[in-house]
Amino acid sequence: MQSFFGVTPAESLETHLPVFNAHAGFKDISPSVSAEYKFSDHWSADGSVQYVYLLNDAYMSPVSRTRGLGGRANIGVFALYTFGPHA
């Protein structure tokens, strides 16, 4: 957690962000719904909607708050190829 959301004193001097010690714990909750349709044994399409909400120190971190990363939705559409003999 500290790797991504913590700010050390040295980093604080360089970035002007306040020092922040992020402790290990649950980082986010991210409910999502996706649907997949198989066109063939190997090819399929996947549509996904995901909402990511940061928790605990991840939410409180100046790294997150500076960027307004408290919560966000991700909407994606993917083409997928499945490898394997029994795809």
Binding residues for another protein, per CB under 8 A? 1-4, 7-8, 11, 14-17, 24-38, 46, 48, 52, 55, 58, 63, 66-87
Q: Extract the tokens encoding 20.
A: 């922040």
Shortest distance, position 60 Cβ to another protein, whole Å? 14
Shortest distance, position 26 Cβ to another protein, whole Å? 5
For another protein, give the closer residue by CB, 11 or 60: 11
- The rounded distance, in Å, linking the Cα atoms of 10 and 30 is 32
What residue type is assigned to position 80 of the chain? L
Look at residues 15, 32, 20, 8 and name the one whose alpha carbon lies nearest to residue 59.
20
